[in-house]
Amino acid sequence: MRLRRLLALFGPAWIIMMADVDASSVITAVSNGEIYGYGLIYLLLILSIPLFIIQDAMGRVGAALPGYGFGDIIRMKFSRKIALSASIPMFITDIFTYVVEYAGIGTGFLLVGIPLYISLPSIFLVHLSILLLKEYRRIEKPLILLSFLLPLAFLSELILRGTDHLELSSLFYFSASHSYAFFIAANVGAVIMPFMLFYQSSATSYKYKMENIRPEHGIPWVRKETLAGAVISELIMVVIEMGTTGIGNVKNVLNAQDISQSLTAIAGSLSPLFFGAGLIISGFIALVTISLGSSWGTLESLGKYSDRNEVILYWVTLFLLISSGIISLI
């Protein structure tokens, strides 16, 4: 496949798969390593299967109907009320997700030595500048760059940490305890999130329409891209779990001092820097994709997706992001 053709197809599925490794997912993976060592690696690998199946459906929908997002399709197939019942709860609950992402980003910056009063406003301004690009192809470029830096950051931390040979003998852990069941639920819940459905369908649809990609060409490619992204995203989770195995009893993963001391003890002084960089990147990719997915889904459900309405909803979304940032800063 020619490079130009590849660039015309590549992006939406890969980006949203990397956004699946958001700040809350990183926290979950750290807790896995802290408590169970390598014992839940098998679960993370298994979860790549439902992740692919569900997101593959969204990608194929977007590729088959260029110009129509998931909210559009629900509204046209059923009704505006049903479409809104799917998109509005997502839009509201994403407010809490913004807080988590901001908190993760803030912690990441603290790990690299940048205070919150500088990092969080800066991240907001960068986020704003990306969203105001409006055209998806322009928004996509910085996200693709960050998506390739994400695995490198956490892999570097694992290289510094090294593998734990004792843990290799206990790769499969199972228990009937409530604590174990909670961790299973936490890992499953970190895999599929509503904004991912809307983002992949809409981003694929809008990009393929702009690039004039026909369904017979788009659908086979989006399936491959989704599969590769699903596997890589769960492998990143495995890397995080392995890289934080043995960090000890960290009271709060989002406490920069605690996590820095624990990582330094097992992997050296550079380890917190790489981990912090990964946390920043993961949270930022999630911030952008969540805001886009929520905006697109809501406007599509209303049947009012246009440049003017898009800008209005972006400002509403950005107001929520500012509020979430202030809450995280406090």
Task: Kindly state the tokens that stand for 273.
Answer: 């820097």
What's the CA gap between 226 and 12, in Å, rounded?
9
Question: Could you tell me the pLDDT band of residue 309, with boundaries at 50, 70 and 90?
Answer: low
Q: Is the pLDDT of residue 179 over 60?
A: yes
Q: Angle, nearest 10°, between helix axes 178-189 and 23-36?
A: 150
Q: Which residue has the higher pLDDT, 305 or 65?
A: 65
Q: CA–CA separation, 78 vs 103, rounded Å? A: 38
Separation of first and last alpha carbons in the chain: 50
d(CA 226, CA 54): 10
Give whole-number Cα distances, 24 to 64, 76, 111, in Å: 32, 34, 17
Alpha-carbon distance 322 to 121, whole Å?
9
Judged against a pLDDT cut of 60, whether residue 116 lies above it is answered with yes
Q: Between 134 and 149, whose confidence is greater?
A: 149
- Which band of pLDDT confidence, cut at 50, 70 and 90, is reported for residue 160? very high
Q: Which residues contact 314 (CB under 8 A, 6 or more apart)?
A: 131, 132, 291, 295
Model pLDDT for residues 79-108, shown as the tens digit of each residue: 889 988 988 888 888 888 888 898 899 999
168 vs 33, higher pLDDT: 33
For residue 232, what pLDDT is reported? 96
pLDDT for position 69: 86
| Residue 195 clears pLDDT 70, i.e. is over it | yes
How far apart are alpha carbons 97 and 294 in whole angstroms? Answer: 12
What stretch of H or E contains 109? helix 80-111
**Residue 236, token pair as written in the block:** 């990143």
Region 275-294: mean pLDDT is: 91
Using an 8 Å Cβ cutoff, are 75 and 300 in contact? yes
Half-sphere exposure of 308 (CA within 13 A, CB side): 2
Give dist(CA 176, CA 183) in Å, integer.
Answer: 12
pLDDT per position as a tens digit, 3-32 = 676 777 888 999 999 999 999 899 888 888
Please say if the pLDDT value at position 313 is more than 80: no
DSSP for residue 11? S
pLDDT at residue 144 is higher than 80: yes
Q: Residue 221, Cβ neighbours under 10 Å: how many? A: 21
Residue 325: the pLDDT is 67
pLDDT of residue 298: 83
Q: Is the pLDDT of residue 48 over 60?
A: yes
- Average pLDDT for residues 315-326, to the nearest whole number? 66
What pLDDT is attached to residue 3? 66
Determine the Cα–Cα distance for residues 122 and 252; give it in Å rounded to an integer. Answer: 25
Cα–Cα distance list, 25 to 2, 30, 44, 57, 228 (Å):
35, 9, 11, 22, 19
Instruction: Using pLDDT thresholds of 50, 70 and 90, give the confidence band for residue 303.
Output: confident
Share of the chain above pLDDT 90, in %: 34
Fold that domain 3-329 belongs to in CATH:
Amino acid/polyamine transporter I (1.20.1740)
pTM summary value: 0.90
Residue spans per domain, the chain = 3-329
- In the predicted model, is pLDDT for residue 189 greater than 80? yes
Q: What is the pLDDT of residue 272?
A: 92
pLDDT band at 315 (very low <50, low <70, confident <90, very high): low
Sole residue written with tokens 């892999």: 155
Using alpha carbons, select from 105, 104, 69 the residue that is nearest to residue 90: 69
